[in-house]
């Protein structure tokens, strides 16, 4: 079934409204699901960025834990936010807004790069690498392909950061 089976009528019924009322606010199912995905991204950003440690390394690891917890507590929303299970969303719009919402997380990665590796550039790429690791592990966990957990996610991110640090400190060839 998944998100393909969701209808405006079913959502309205679940909320105790009529479908014409929802159509006053959303032109179609895609717009409704897109707004839900955007709200999910905003909730995730708020969750992972609130009250972080001042030191960038523990802050990044805390973001990993919070990301994993959010995914576990909001499995269907997480799948929607990422356009899974046939969810028809405006991907470009969701992605663009998510990138803006996660700029503070990229700034934390930038602070770590500067402190640990003495590098002023590359934070966006490293943030994308970190997200790819977490998202890949989350999807495999949700699909029951691999029994990942938050400990393994933290370990994997730690290894990526340590490897990045070692690479930055290695003598030039």
Quote the pLDDT of residue 167.
83
Picking from 11, 126, 147, 12, the residue whose alpha carbon sits closest to that of residue 80 is 11
Block means of pLDDT (10 residues each) for the chain, 173 residues, are 78 85 88 94 97 96 97 95 89 95 96 91 92 95 92 94 84 69
H or E element in which residue 30 lies? helix 29-49
Number of CB atoms found within 10 A of residue 1's CB:
7
Residues 6+ apart with CB under 8 A from 50: none
Q: CATH top-level class for 29-169?
A: mainly alpha
Q: How many residues comprise the chain?
A: 173
DSSP-derived 3-state class of residue 133: helix
DSSP 8-state assignment for residue 101: H
């Amino acid at each position: 079934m998944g998100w393909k089976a969701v209808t405006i009528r079913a959502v309205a019924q679940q909320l105790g409204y009529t479908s014409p009322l929802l159509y006053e606010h959303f032109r179609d199912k895609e717009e409704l699901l897109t707004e839900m995905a955007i709200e999910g991204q905003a909730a995730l950003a708020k969750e992972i960025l609130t009250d972080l440690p001042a030191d960038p390394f523990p802050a990044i690891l805390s973001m990993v834990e919070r990301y994993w917890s959010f995914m576990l507590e909001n499995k269907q929303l997480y799948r929607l936010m990422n356009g899974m299970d046939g969810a028809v969303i405006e991907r470009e719009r969701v992605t663009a807004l998510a990138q803006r919402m996660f700029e503070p997380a990229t700034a934390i990665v930038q602070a770590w790069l500067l402190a640990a590796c003495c590098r002023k550039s590359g934070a966006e790429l490293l943030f994308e690498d970190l997200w790819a690791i977490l998202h890949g592990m989350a999807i495999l966990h949700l699909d029951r392909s691999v029994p990942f957990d938050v400990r393994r996610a933290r370990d994997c991110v730690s290894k990526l950061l340590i490897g990045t640090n070692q690479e930055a400190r290695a003598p030039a060839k």
